[in-house]
Every structure is written in structure tokens, then in C-alpha cells.
Structure 1
Amino acid sequence: MDDAFGKGCHLHLIDGSAFIFRAYHALPPLTRKSDGLPVGAVAGFCNMLWRYVQTDDGHTAPTHAAVIFDHSSKTFRNEIYPAYKAQRPEPPEDLRPQFPLTRDATRAFNIACIETQGYEADDIIAAMACAARNAGGSATIISSDKDLMQLIGDGVDMLDPIKNKLIGRDEVFEKFGVFPDRVVDVQALAGDPVDNVPGAPGIGIKTAALLIQEYGDLETLLARAEEIKQPKRRQTLIDHADQIRISKRLVTLDCDTPLDVTLESLAVKRPDADRLVAFLSEMEFRTLTNRVAEVLGAEAPAIQAAPASDAPTAPDQPAIDASAYETVTDMAALDAWIAAIVETGHVAIDTETTSLDEMQAGLVGISLAVAPGRACYIPLGHVAGGDDLFGQSARVAGQLDPAAVLAALRPVLQDPAILKIGQNMKYDWKMLARHGIEMTPLADTMLMSYALNAGTHNHGMDELAERYLGHKCIPIKDLIGSGKGQLNFAQVAIDKAAPYAAEDADVTLRLWQHFAPMLPVEKVSTTYHTLERPMIPVLAQMEMAGIRIDTDTLKRMSNAFAQKMAGLEDEIHGLAGQSFNIGSPKQLGEILFDKMGLAGGKQGKTGAFSTSADVLEDLAAEGHDLPARVLDWRQIAKLKSTYTDALPTYVHPDTGRVHTSYSITGAQTGRLSSTEPNLQNIPIRTDEGRRIRQAFIAPEGYRLVSLDYSQIELRILAHVADIPALKQAFLDGIDIHAMTASQMFGVPVEGMDPMIRRRAKAINFGVIYGISGFGLSRNLRIPRAEAQSFIDTYFERFPEIRAYMDKTVADAKQDGYVTTLFGRRINTPGINQSGPAAGGARRAAINAPIQGAAADIIRRAMIRMPQAIADLPARMLLQVHDELVFEVRDDATVPLIDTARRIMEAAAEPSLRLSVPLVVDAGHGANWAEAH
């Protein structure tokens, strides 16, 4: 083959085996609808090849290309060292039938497909790369496999297909501490547990690199081993010299691997449209078939979808059969289920209740599952349809006593050796905690899905079941109906309730089996295990604690708001010259754009003018009084309806407190959201908003304490964008907004005009969200040209921010996601779209790593907090983005503040050492307003 190559030939060598396993582990299981054949890895493989064929990546275009595969697991290396790769597991059952299909796919793409009996794909790649280089050509290896990095040098480079990044000598040195020609020496010393290459015991990559740097090469090192000063290291090298030499033979790629290919067979060719489309159609890849057909100018055949009822189940799991579930109605049967739980060491659990409010809902039943298809339902609180004379429904006969069931389940549900699996486990944790059972340890399939797929789809059980198990769950409406005649679950007949409830536990267990192995593959295990799962009991306890409110204060505020609204109504009507319904967008639009003739009116499909907040803010920025007053009126109306009128209705009849509910998966950046009621959106920038907090009070003898991160997102920005001026200001404790104003506008910090500082503050915070000149002009109510000038000056003064933004957007476009400092993956599915949505996707990508890191930091603090304050008469009640609110006995206020501040300010450690300090402001008082 050497003679066939010449100068100008550029060979691309695609690591096909790596492509297959990457596709298999990156995508959910997929089966062909017509016959159930597993094709998920084939689908991912085809998408990767199509992306390769279509991409102009800026690197030297190939004249020749091939996809290289492993032929079998046994190679010549097993003759050298029989234990080579002995620990590697067999390929998954559903992957095996896909191997030959990936070869068919390669040929369908008209790319050479090469494999050789007795040799690994890496050896074939090595032989072909060396042949190309020796003949005066060049080669690019398309892989990120570290074992191939030994080949890099003149005429041979590597391209990481995931990051679209070239790997050269410098990148190899960064990874191994040596250049490519000494990589095998380092690998021989360090060994490789994945391939069962023994190496030298106790010597890792860093130590191996230092030794090779010092002695030049492996043979010299072994020959001079007695010169090494450290006794243990010296003896290791002497005792294991032969083993190390064997390891080098195992890790050295064979450039003399026999090749039976011609140059002509490797020439780059355009895919044959009919052949490729036919293959993709046969695989039933509808979307890719249509895309390829459109690009290649072929006709895409119709692909018939199988009926929903024929959707396949997940691999290696029996079909979901609701009729096979057991209804437990005697203690002997329950004991058998408890024994099964102890035997398996895990159980999926789900509670059925009378409402979605877990603080007031009654427990109707419990479902359990220990294996796919092996699930049961324990009815506890089902009632007959009719009411008795006292308005109470009679309990259906044949159900076990709830207290006896809970007493029997308590030991296994609290056993730290048995894993409890749930979907939205926080709900079930609270339901059982109200009955004296605090489950541990926990797994939550909703949070697993969130860690894997935040931003790409929702995480409810029904959607996950259809998406990942190919199963449509029994709809709850089929049992309870809807509208005025809707039942609660207690009124559902047991024979209908049991299949529905047990199915929930069965599906949850199957989802856990599906998601758990994907977490390490997708490198989100740390996110799930340290930032998601531990939040379940922390938030549950906060929600159960609740917070007191003063309903009399709220009533007075509501009356005051009503009076203020009335005054604003009079003012608005006077400016309009007539009375009209301010709450009617149609009437308001007619006043602004028809009667007053203001510019900027936009009519929708119905012909009515838009009077959204954005429209009114633009008009107010132009100096028009009426829209400004309407904005004021709307703000007061919202405070009245959402808080002063509504909050008293949320007071729990037994606790006398308000119990909000936090969603861990509510925002893809990791920020928590609060509902029923929402306590995170109470405005604090207006006097009226701050007054709402006065109604949140501490009991007698206690105080509320607020601890709030100071400018945490700006601090994170200073760190990740490496902005010297901002970092120094934070280190010196300087007013960051005044410093920014001084840097931008050339004015001294001392005696600064508050308006100038306010503008700098708006820019500082706006930049984090990718604010535009248009947005800043609206916020500051200044002309757009002036606002854009401020932003331009800002980027001139802090060019590192622009560089950070550009890099973040570029990474998001390439990878499809961004990550926080703690490894949280935030998907950016809309980043490559065009049109009006592109700007929003770009701004979200810029902000996500910053806001996500801030969310991660406060989560870490919250997870550590319960143990830290366990000995204090205090408890954590609320989280509002960067703020935590506590209730503490008067005499423990100072110790609580000291402890909580220490935990919060050290929350990034030890995983990360920020280059700027985290600072926490603290306050306390009889109510939340005083504390903050």
C-alpha cells in the first residue's frame, strides 16, 4: 500500500468501533417498529457518519477515507498475555445484532469498511497511518482514543469528533506529560485497568511521565532502576521489569499489521443516493431518511409507523402487563413482599393519595415493585361512593389496617441497605414522613432524567415511559374523570386502582434500570449524586416546616393596594380623557394607538393591539406617562391578587403556616422554582414588594434570619471569564458597581453620582443575561443609542467578557450543551436555529453556566446545612435563589448566622477553589423584611 500513496494524499481513518459504543451509550434504546430489532446504536452511528460526510470542519479535506472496526475480541496480544482484556464485559445483548448493521451502514455511505482477523482496529489504523506517512502523504485519525495518540507526529494528527478539536503533540503532552514518541513508555509503566494491562504496581501516569522525562526512555529507566532514590519505587521497577516490558508490547500499536486494501478502494466518493436512502429506510430512520433524501436529491420512501400499542418494551425486560399485578389484602402476602424487598435490596415505591397537596392529602394506598413485571398494590383508604349522615364515606371492606401496614414497612423503608426508588420521590417522602417514616437511601428517576436531559424534554413519568420504554401508561383520567364530576383516588374501585397504581411502581423500576447505567456514561453521575438526589430530604423538611404569615397585615396591605389602584385608575383615566377598563388589553390598545396615536402599535391576528409589558415599557421609556402609570397599576394589581389576597388561603388548617413546594427540575440551569404559593417572585426592588415580606413572621421567642450571597453571579463571571479588574475589586472588597462605573466613565469612586452607579449596576447584571442595547434602554429608560454606547464601552473595558461569551456560544453550538463549574450539563437545543429565537437561545447559553454555577453553590450549601445546624434550635425554611431564610430561637441567632455563613461561603470547596471570595450578607428580625 505504501507505493500507492504519494504527496498530496490525505487519508481520514475513522475509529468505527469507538463510534458504535459512543452511539450506543449516548442514545436511549430504539427498536425497529416492524420487527423489534434493536437499532439505537445504528441510528447514532448513521447520524455521526452523516455529520462527518456533511461537515466542512476547516481541517484538510480527505482524498481517501476508511472506517475501521474491531473484528473480534481475541488478538495476537492474548498470545503475549492471556489475561489481556480479560476483565472486559461481553457486549450488551441488544448491541450484538447491531455490529453487522454498522458495517452495512458504512458501505451504504460509500466509505471503505475495514477489519482484520486477529488485529484490533487500533492496529489497522496504525498500519494505515504509517503507510500514508511513509509514502509522503498524511493521515488524520478521527477518534479521541488515548491509545492512538502514540501515532501523532509529522504527517499524522488526530481529530476529536465530539469536540471537533485537533489533537497534536502539545495536547498529547498535556495528557501524558510526554510527547507522542514516549507515550507507550508511560503507558507501559502506568498500565491500564480497563484493558488489564498490568504495568508497574503503584505507578500512575504522572509518576511514569516524570520517570521517563528524567531517564529518557523505558529501557534506560529499567537499566538504571537501582539509581532511583525512593526505595519502594526502585524495588517495584526491579521486581516487575519483565511485566513492564510485556505491558509495553501490549500497548504498542503494530504498524506492520497486514493490509489487504488498495488506494483506489479508499478514495473519497459521494454517497450513492438510492443505496443510502434504501438502507436508512429499511432501518426505519424516518427523520434521517428524509434529511438525506433532500440533500442528495433522492425520493424518500414512506416509512410506516407501527401502532402505538405495538411499541416495544425496553431490552431485557418483560412486557408490561397490568393484569399480572397483585393486590395485597392480607398480612401474610405483605410479609412475602417485604421478604422480596430484603432479598433484592431495592424497591420502587409510589403512594396514592386524595390530592396533590402532600401536606393535606390522605394516604389511599402504596404500590411496590422489586423487578420488572413484579409489582403490587396495597389498598389502605378506598371508600364507598355514598356519604353517610355525617358526610363521611364508608371505608371499603377487605383493606389492611394502615397503621399495621406502615409499621410492617417501616424497617425496610428506613433500612440504609435497601434502596428506595421513586418518580418525584420528594412527594412520597413527605407523605410517608407525615406517618413517621423517613426513607433512606433514595433514587429518583425524575432527577436522573433531569441530570441527563435537562432542557430537551419534560421529566414526568408518562412521558418518560413512552420515550424510553415504549409504553403508554394508564391515564389517570380513565379512573377519576375530569371537571366537576372528578373523583379523588380514594373513590376509585380497588380493582381499577390496583393496575394503575402497581403500573406506576413497575414503570418507575424499569426507568431506574434504564437511567442508572447511563449516568456514568454521560458523565452526569456527580451531578445527580451530589446536587440532585441529596436535595430530596432537604427540601421535603423545609416544605414540611413551612413559615408563619400574619393574615391581618396582609389584609391591611390588600386594602392599601386597593386604594392605590383606585388612585392610579383616576390618574390613568385623566391621562386618557375617558374611563375604560384598564385590565382589558383591547380597550387599552385602542386608547394608546387609536385615540392617542402613539407609535409602535402591533396588531395580532384578532386585530387587537398588543399591550404586553415590553410594549408598555418601550412607550414609557419614550416619556409617555399613561403606559408608565398602567405598568404601576398592573404591578400593584398583581401583588394584591397573587400575594395579599391569595396568601391567607394557603394557611394550613393544622399547622397555621404556609407550606410552599419546590421543584428541583423546574429550571434547566438547576435553579429551584416555588409553587403553591410561589414565594420566589415577590419583588424586592419596589417598596410595595418589600412590604409583602413584612407579613412573613417568626413565632414568639424566635427570629427570622436571612443569609444572601452578595453578587454571586458577578463573582462567578469574574472567575470563569478571568477578568483581572473585577477579581481584584472583589478581593479588595470594593463596591463593584462603583468600580465598574469608574472604569467605564472615568469618574472617581468617591462622591460618585448615584445615577452613574445605577447605570453601571444595570450593565453589570444585564451582561450576565446577554442584554442588548434595546433591553438596557428599556431598563434604564434612556435612548437606545445611548444604551448601546454604554455596552460598547463596557466590552472595550472588559474584553474578557466578550471572549467568554463568544467561546461559550461556540461551545454550545458545537456540543449542544454548556456545563457549570461543577459539571452540571445544561442542554441548549435551540442554539443552532436561526430567526428571532436565535438571540434568546444565545443569551440563555451565555447565562446558563453562570446562573447554573450559582444554583449549584447554594444547593451544596443547603445539602450541608441540616447537619451543620443540627445542634441549634433552628431550621431552614425558604430558599429564594441566592438567599436562605431560617427560623431560630432568639438566643441562638448569632451562632446560627456564624454557622450558616461559614457553610455558605465555603460551599464551592473542596471541589473548586474560586479566584474570588464568596461573601454572604446576613440579617435578622421579627419578620422577613427586617431580616433582609
Structure 2
Amino acid sequence: MHVLQLYHDAHKITHACALQRRIFSHWRHHCDDPVYECMAFDTETTSLQFHTPSNLKHKGNIIVVNNPFPFGISLCIPYKDELALFWARMGTYLYDAALELLQEEGEKCAHNARYDIRVLHHAGTEVAPNIGCTLTMSRIGWDRREHHSLQRLSEFICPEMSDWEVELTAVMRNIRASHTRRGFPKSYSNYSFIPDKTTRKYAMIDSFMCWIINLKLRPVMLKEDCVTYDREIALLPLVRRIEERGMLFDTRRARKELRRLDTKLTAEISKVQRLAGTEFNPNSPAKLLPVLLECGILKKDLTIEGTLTTNKKALERFLRKQPAPRPKLQKLVRAVLTMRSIRTLTTRYYAPLIVRARWNNGIIYYTINPADTKTSRMTGSNPNMQFVPRPTSGYEGGNHVRGCFKCRAGYRMYFFDWSVMELIAFGIIAGSINIIKWFKAGEDLHVKMGKRIFGSQDVTRGNLVGTREVTKHVSYAYIFGAGVGGLMRDFLMLPDEAADCLERYKEAFPEFEGFKNRCKHELRVDGYITDLYGKRYHITPQLAYLSVNAVVQGTCASALKEAATKIDESFENCEDRHILLPLHDEIIIERRISPSFWEDLFVDCCKINMEEISVFMSRGLRLRVDAEYTTTNWEEKEPYICMKN
């Protein structure tokens, strides 16, 4: 039956009735098949961000809540040979019955199940286990797609139903406009303000599309991608606990840094205007460009890929120009770069983090998206903790953003970081005997590879100084699929320098280029390639240069999830230790301070769980993990040395 016809023929129930009770009772006795007897559910909430105030409109009253509140629930339940769609608004008998049903055992699914489970948990409802996530299924099974929201997926599942959000968006726009005209902020209103007639249609289609996706993809997850899917689902409870824990933020220190940087920013703006000889707004690229040209900088010096720009790459390339520019122009460009770095620190980090910490008694809560990229790399949002700058980045004076994330009273933070995991993964996948041999011997891979590429000479390329630095960054650029243009753009190399680096690299390690050619062949024949964990990546042969990045990043992402899951299992029944944050190749953990003997055991346990990764151990390789700790803040971490050593 066509998807659209299936939706039209479904029972649509919006209040408690005899049919609703029969359907609920039928599902309780027929809920074991994860494909055909699975119940799809979706929550309609006041916002998407946790630990952030929002307004709930209920029976004409406005109630302020600190987390997304489920003011409505939609269900899609298979009933004999038909489907039944439910919409239950808060305060109705059907809403209470739907919550009770979700707490009962049986196969269920939701799109972004982690979010819906967390929303209901905050509202006092614990959803029973056996919950599938159609968002995770889509990212694994339909990895060619750029977007995996229900609305985007409906565009190819059933195009006739893909515009259901248009009416909802229009109504929401009108409601927000009416409130802003009365002086309320844009965030004042949300979906709970929308009339029930509009919301129920939207919500029913949401749960219906979720059920259809489960019907299409769950059989694939049970057969072809069962290991990958099970690993992703097993991670969801851990991610929820990480999001609920958060990190302690020192608002007093952050305010002090913000005031200092604001003073510095004002001085830098005045310096830019003085060196330019005119008053203008240097924060505006449109106004800065003509001023720089008028001061004597040539258009070709500010042109990147045929476009005139004043971005960081163009300005840094100008400073490296030979012969060197006039000293006054150098001072002007450096002042602009310093001004922008300070402004980024104040507007992107200090100011918003202070506001977030103020909402939650000094705790910064964040969202972890466990499989948000094509390679299943974990990403973050609200805020993205993976982009918190290192102390040495930013303007010349450095920054102390990480220094504002401090240890809880009585706790220490530990930092476990893999060494060259991406490079050794690439060496295994490409079949590089030398890299594996050097790694087993405990050699510094970047140094050994540098000697093979450039010999004994010490080289400098672009803004990279020293053979080791050049080799390290060229290796990662090669893995990520960057060519000559990428090296020129990212490391300010001249065309000849970039071409020479890549040519030497390919000559020194011909197996890497051979692996790329094998990937092209596999993509043409099979349509996909696999990483060390067996996860498939569907890439068009024309984009075969991305295949190295896919399999390497995918392997490392799965290794991080395996390690995090093993460490979390070792913490079972231990209330004094918590995983705080999984980064790209690092895991941050906090633990209550204890005698050094027990601390050594804890560090050894975490290191072993990260060193003994299944796909590497099966090939006789034990990864290297560096351990650091701090009793103060993230910035002041130092190497951990076991007492027994």
C-alpha cells in the first residue's frame, strides 16, 4: 500500500474512547516484533535546549519551565491490519494514558530517541527499554543523505506529505510576530502557543513518518548493520548521563577575563583606526576592505579563489608576503587580526558561557550528538565543547576559557588522550608495514615519517616550522582529503611548497596512494567501502578522495565509543566518578579525590580500556594513551605519574 494511502486510512484519535482502549490493549499483547508491532512516539516540547528557561502555555496560563516540557505526545500504533494515530494534549485523559503506555514493556521507536527519553525523564516519566532510534537508523542506512530530520526524510519517502511543516511554520511566525510587537522577546512563544488543531496534524505525521522509517530500516539494522546499530544504541544512556552532569564554570573568573578583554578590544579598535588614518567600523568586513586597499594593500594580496576577502587566511598570507610589506601595513594587519581574535573570545565564549552558567548555578550543560556526521563522529552543541579553544590559541596574549572550567569541590579531572590513533588506523587500513613496525617499536611516527620524506634536513613550509610539524600536518591533510589547494589555504604554503610536500609524501609511502586507488575500485564495483569495524560508507566514485577520511575517521569514532562504553561499564555502581566529555581522541573524566593507591588503579583501568580496542588488538596492536589530571581547572592540567613508577 502507498504511504500516503496508509496515512489517510489510519485511525486518528484525539481523545480517550473505547477504540483507543481497544488499541492500547491490543498493543500490550502484540508488541514483540521490532518491525511490524513497534509503536512510534514523539513529544512536542516547549523548546529544544535543556536547562534553559522557556514558557509553557497551558489552558491560557503561561508557566516558566527550565527544561523542554512535553505539552503533547503523538503515537503511531499498528492495530491488526491498520494503523492508529494519536494526539494527546497535556491535561487530558488520553495524555495520561499515553504516558502509562510508554512506561510498559514493548518495542518502541522514536526519531532522536535520546531527546524524547530525556524530555519525558525530566517530566517524571521513565520510558521502558527496547527503544529504537530512527535517526540513528537513518544515519547508518541512508548515509548518502545530508539531512536526517523527519521533514527532510519525508521528501523522498512520501513527497506528497513533505510540506506538513509549512502551515505550522506560518502559524508560529504569526504568533511570534504578534508577541514581538507587544515587546516580548522572540523566544517568548513556542509550539505550545499554537492552536491544537494545527499541532495535532503536525504531530501525527511526525509519529507516522517515524513508524514508516522504522518499517523500512529496522530489518536492515537487524541483518546487515546490526553490530554498528547496537553499538550506537548502547551509547545513548551514557550520552544522557554526560549531558545531565555538565561541567562547573567559574563565572567570577570569566567576568574578570571579559572585562579585561573588553578594555583590550577597545584599545585595539582605536589602534586600527589610528594606523588606518580614519575613523570607521573595523568590525565590518565591508568597511574594512576599502580602507585596507586605500592604505596600499593590493587587491591580489587579498584575493582567495577569485574573491576579494579580509578573512584570516588572506591577512595572514599578506604578512608572509615576500618581499615583506611596509612596517606600518604589517602593524595594521596584525592589529586587525588581534582585534578579531579578542572579539571572538568575548562574543563566542565568555559572554554566552557566563549567561548559561548563571541559569544553572554555575554548571554548563551541553548536548552530545553521538552520530551527527557521516563518519559517526560525536559532535556537540548548545554549546559545542569540542571547540573550546586551547590556552595558546586566539590572540598573542592567549586565552583562559578552559581555565574557567574548574573541578567540583572534592573532585579531580582526568584527561585520557590517544597518541596518533588516526595515523596508526590509516597505516593498518592502507597496509603500511613500516608505520606498524615503528609504532610497535615505540617510535615517534611523525619523526620517522619526516626522515623518510625529507631526509635529515630540517624543513619549514608555510607557517609550519620544523620537519616534525610539517610531516604531522601534511599527514592529517592527506587523510582528510586536502590537496595542494588545501595546504595553501590551511598552512599558508606557496603552490610549489604544497605540491612538493605532497609529491614527496606519495613517493615515501606509495602504499597510501595504492589504498586510494583500491577505494576507487571498490566504490565503482560495490558502491561502498568499509572501515575496520565493518561500517559501510557510500561515496560516489567522483569523490573517492574522501574515502580515506571516511574509513579513518569512522574507525576512530567507533573506537572512541567502544572505549567510552567500556569505561562507563567499569564505573557501574560507582557514584564517585563520571565521564564528563568525549572529545575527538580524548575522554575527560572526573573522580572524587582518594588515596594515591586507588587513584593509580583508577588511571590504569581507564588507560587499559582505551588501549585495548578490539579492532587494533586483533591485529596485535595496543594503542598508546597519555594521562593528565588537574585539581584546579581544565587549563592547568599536568601529566599523571603513577606512584608505582
TM-score, structure 2 normalization: 0.81
d(CA) in 1 for partners of 2:367 and 2:319?
A: 36
Whether contact under 8 Å (1:456, 1:827) holds in the other structure is no
Match of 1:535 among 235, 238, 241: 235
Match of 2:27 among 341, 351, 354: 341
Find the aligned partners of 1:685 and 1:757 in 2 and give their Cα distance.
22
1: CA distance, partners of 2:607 / 2:582: 14
Which one of the candidate residues 693, 710, 715 is aligned to 2:419? 710
What pairs up with 1:84-95 in 2 under 5 angstroms?
Answer: none
**After superposition, where does 1:258-657 map in structure 2 within 5 Å?**
312-313=2-3, 318-320=6-8, 324-329=11-16, 336-345=22-31, 346-359=38-51, 360-371=67-78, 373-380=83-90, 399-400=92-93, 405=97, 408-409=100-101, 411-412=103-104, 415=105, 418-434=106-122, 435-470=124-159, 471-472=161-162, 474-475=164-165, 476-477=168-169, 480-482=172-174, 483-485=176-178, 487-519=189-221, 523-530=224-231, 532-573=232-273, 575-600=275-300, 609-622=308-321, 625=330, 626-651=332-357, 653-654=359-360, 656-657=362-363
Q: Quick one: structure 1 residues 652 and 591, their matched pair in 2 at CA, closer, same or farther if it must change by over 3 Å?
A: closer
2:552 aligns with 850
Deviations 1:471-510 (A, max 9, x none): 3363232553454347423333444433332332222112
- Gaps of at least 5 residues in structure 2 are 32-37, 52-66, 180-188, 459-463, 639-645
Partner Cα separation in structure 1 for residue 620 and residue 387 of structure 2: 31
SS of alignment partner, residue 437 of structure 1: coil
1:422-449 residue CA offsets vs partner (Å, 9 max, x unmatched): 0111110101222251541121112111
SS in 2 for 1:340: helix
User: Deviation digits for residues 6-42 of structure 1, max 9, x if unmatched?
Assistant: xxxxxxxxxxxxxxxxxxxxxxxxxxxxxxxxxxxxx
Structure 1, 697-706 or 789-798: larger mean CA deviation? 789-798
Residues 538 and 656 of structure 1: is their aligned pair in 2 closer, same or farther, counting only changes over 3 Å?
A: same
Q: Does 2:532 correspond to 1:821?
A: yes
**Mean Cα displacement is larger for which, 753-762 or 858-867?**
753-762
1:673 aligns with 2:362: no
Judging changes above 3 Å, is the alpha-carbon distance between structure 1 residues 800 and 677 closer, same or farther for their aligned structure 2 residues? same
Shift of 1:820: 1.7
Give, in angstroms, the shift of residue 704 of structure 1: 1.6
Alpha-carbon spacing, 1:597–1:488, altered in 2? closer, same or farther (3 Å): closer
The answer as to whether partners of 1:367 and 1:378 remain within 8 angstroms in 2 is: yes
- 1:451 Cα deviation (Å)? 0.6
Aligned residues of 2:417 and 2:585 also touching (Cα < 8 A): yes
**Cα separation, partners in 2 of 1:362 and 1:407, compared to 1, 3 Å:** closer
Q: Does the CA-based 8 Å contact 2:99-2:125 persist in structure 1?
A: no
Deviates more, 1:572-581 or 1:642-651: 572-581
Q: Which of the numbers 766, 772, 781 marks the counterpart of 2:477?
A: 766
| Distance in 2 (alpha carbons) for counterparts of 1:577 and 1:666 | 48
Change in 2 beyond 3 A, CA 1:597/1:631: closer
**Contact kept in structure 2, 1:593 and 1:601, CA below 8 Å:** no
- Following superposition, the deviation at residue 823 of structure 1 comes to 2.1
Q: Does structure 2 retain, via aligned residues, the 8 Å contact 1:621–1:782?
A: no
User: Do the aligned residues in 1 keep the contact of 2:453 with 2:505 (CA within 8 Å)?
Assistant: yes
Q: How far apart are 1:713 and its partner, in Å?
A: 0.7
Question: How far has the Cα of 1:893 moved from its partner?
Answer: 4.5
Query: Counterpart of 1:883?
Result: 586
Secondary structure at 2:300 match in 1 = coil
8 Å CA contact 2:391, 2:400 repeated in 1: no
* Pick aligned residue for 2:449 from 740, 743, 768: 740
Distance 1:631 1:808, change over 3 A: farther
Q: Call closer, same or farther: CA 1:632–1:735 in 2, change over 3 Å.
A: farther
2:58 aligned residue: none
**CA displacement at 1:573 relative to structure 2:** 4.1
The answer to whether the 8 A contact 1:621-1:777 is kept is: no
Check the 8 A contact 1:706/1:928 in 2, yes or no. Answer: no
Deviations 1:733-775, CA, capped at 9 Å, x for gaps? 22222222333333399xxx97232222222322222333444
- Offset at residue 716 of structure 1 (A): 0.7
Which of 385, 392, 403 is the aligned partner of 1:686?
A: 392
Q: Is the 8 A contact 2:563 2:613 kept in 1?
A: yes
The one-letter amino acid of 2:482's match is I
- CA drift at 1:335: 5.6
Q: Take 1:809 and 1:588, find their aligned partners in 2: how far apart are those partners?
A: 45
Contact 1:550 1:696 in 2 (8 A): yes
Kindly report which structure 2 residues correspond to 1:208-219, keeping only aligned pairs within 5 A, or say none.
none
Q: Which has the higher contact order (CA 8 A, sep 6+)?
A: 2
Query: Do 1:708 and 1:922's aligned partners in 2 also have CA atoms closer than 8 Å?
Result: yes
The one-letter amino acid of 1:918's match is L
Asked whether the equivalents of residues 72 and 87 of structure 2 are also in contact (C-alpha less than 8 Å), the reply is yes
Matching residue of 2:57: none
1:724 aligns to 2:425 (yes or no): no
Q: Distance between the aligned counterparts of 2:548 and 2:194, measured in 1?
A: 49
How far did residue 560 of structure 1 move?
2.9
SS state at 2:588 partner = strand
Distance 1:927 1:685 in 2: 12
Secondary structure at 1:680 match in 2? helix
* Cα pair distance change 1:907/1:433, threshold 3 Å: farther
In the aligned structure 2, how far is the partner of 1:335 from the partner of 1:903?
A: 49
- SS of equivalent to 2:516: helix
Cα offsets for 1:305-360 (capped at 9, x unmatched): xxxxxxx527xx723358x4112347x87765542332221321111211112441
CA RMSD of superposed structures (Å): 3.3
2:250/2:362 contact within 8 Å kept: no
Asked if 2 retains the 8 angstrom alpha-carbon contact of 1:602 and 1:609, the reply is yes
Counterpart contact for 2:103–2:125, Cα < 8 Å: no
- C-alpha deviation, 1:686, in angstroms: 2.4
Whole-angstrom CA distance in 2 between matches of 1:499 and 1:469 = 16
Contact 2:581/2:587 (CA < 8 Å) preserved in 1?
yes
CA contact 1:652–1:658 (8 Å) conserved in 2:
no
For 1:167-186, what aligned pairs fall within 5 Å after superposition? none
- Would the aligned equivalents of 1:358 and 1:430 in 2 still touch at CA under 8 Å? no
Q: Distance in 2 between matches of 1:649 and 1:550?
A: 12
Give the alignment partner of residue 497 of structure 2, picking from 770, 773, 786: 786
Q: Given that residues 325 and 499 in structure 1 are in contact (C-alpha distance below 8 angstroms), is that contact kept between their aligned partners in structure 2?
A: no
Aligned residue number for residue 513 of structure 2: 802
Q: Counterpart of 1:366 in structure 2: which amino acid?
A: I
Contact 2:453–2:504 under 8 Å retained in 1: yes
TM-score normalized with structure 1 length? 0.57
**Match in the other structure for 2:61:** none
Instruction: Report the structure number with the largest CA radius of gyration.
Output: 1
> Distance in 1 between the 2:600 and 2:125 partners?
32
Matched residues in 2 for 1:655 and 1:347: separation?
Answer: 38
Q: Give the distance between the partners of 1:485 and 1:893, measured in 2 at CA.
A: 58
Contact 2:111 2:210 survives alignment (8 Å): yes
| Residue range with higher mean Cα deviation, 739-748 or 432-441 | 739-748
State the shift of 1:533 in Å: 2.4
Decide which moves more: 505-514 or 592-601: 592-601
State the distance in 1 between where 2:494 and 2:162 align: 54
Gaps of 5+ in 1: 1-93, 95-311, 382-398, 833-840
Q: Which residue of 1 aligns with 2:59?
A: none
Amino acid at match of 1:373: L
- How many angstroms does 1:889 deviate by? 1.0
Residue 55 (structure 2) aligns with? none
| In structure 2, C-alpha distance between the alignment counterparts of 1:727 and 1:608, rounded to whole Å | 44
